Amino acid sequence: MKKTLGIIGAEQQEIDLLLEHLSLEKTVKKAGLSFFCGTIHDYPVVIVKAGIGKVNAAACTQMLIDLFDVKMIVNTGAAGSLDSRINIGDIVVSTEVIQHDLDVTDLGYKPGDVPGTGKVFTSDKLLHDLAVSCSHEANPDVTVYEGLILTGDQFISGQEKKNWLIDTFHGLCAEMEGGAIAHVASLNEVPFLIIRSISDKADGSATMDYTQFSKMASYHSARLVEALIEKLLAL
C-alpha cells in the first residue's frame, strides 16, 4: 500500500499545477483550510494551501498528520536566493532547514537554535535523492542546487539582512514556511522535504522580482514535485 504524501504550498499559485493533475476524491475543510484528497498518477496525496508564515505552516502540517495520517510531507513554493550562483528560476532541494528568526542568543544559544530540540532539521534522504534524480526530467532548463534552506517570518528584501543571513547561516535561499513544516514533521517523526524555486534575489529588487517571477518559480517547484510523485509510484 502506497504511503500518502502531504503536499503544502503557502499560496494558491504554488499548488495550482498539482491540483490540475489531481484526481479528486474528496475535499475536507478544517480551520479555514481546504484539504484536497485524491491521487496524482495513481499515487495518494493530500494537497493544501497553508497560508503564509510559520504559524500557518505549522498548524497545517499538524492537521495533515492528525487528520489524514500522511506518511511523508513535501513543501513546494518560491524563495529568495542567498547565493550568487543561484538565479531566478533555479531550484533548491533541502538537505537541512533552519529557522533563522528564532533567537535566544541572550540565553547562550546560537542563532536559529530551538531550545530542547536543536538547530537543524534534516530532510529525508530518500525524498531528497528521488527529487534530485528527476530534476532534469522535470525542468530540463533549470539548475538544481542542494543544501540548507532558511525560514523566517520575514520577506527578505534588503541587502543588510541578506548579508547577515549569509554570514550567519550560509544558507542557499530564504523563505517563510519550510522550517516550521520541518519542525512539526520532525516532532511527529514524519519524513519531509522542502523544494523551492527562486523568485527573487532577496535584495532591494526582491519585491518587484517576486511579483514578476513568483508564478514561474511556483511552476518549476510544482513540476519537480509531480516528477517526484512519479518516482514514488515506481518504488
Out of 14, 113, 153, 203, the active site residue is: 14
The three cell numbers locating residue 137: 526530467
- Which of these CATH numbers, 3.40.50.1580, 1.10.10.60, 3.40.50.1360, 3.40.50.300, describes 5-233? 3.40.50.1580
Enclosing H/E stretch for 139: none
Give CB contacts under 8 A, 24+ apart, made by 207-212.
207/155, 207/157, 209/88, 210/78, 210/80, 210/155
One of 83, 124, 177, 200 is an active-site residue; which one? 200
pLDDT at 20: 98
The per-residue pLDDT for 116 is 84
pLDDT value of residue 208: 87
Q: What does the domain layout of the chain look like in residue ranges?
A: 5-233
- Whether the full predicted model's pTM is greater than 0.75, yes or no, is yes
Q: Is 226 a catalytic residue?
A: no
Q: Is 14 a catalytic residue?
A: yes
Averaged pLDDT, groups of 10, the chain, 235 residues long: 95 98 98 99 98 99 98 98 97 98 93 86 98 96 98 96 97 98 98 98 89 96 98 94
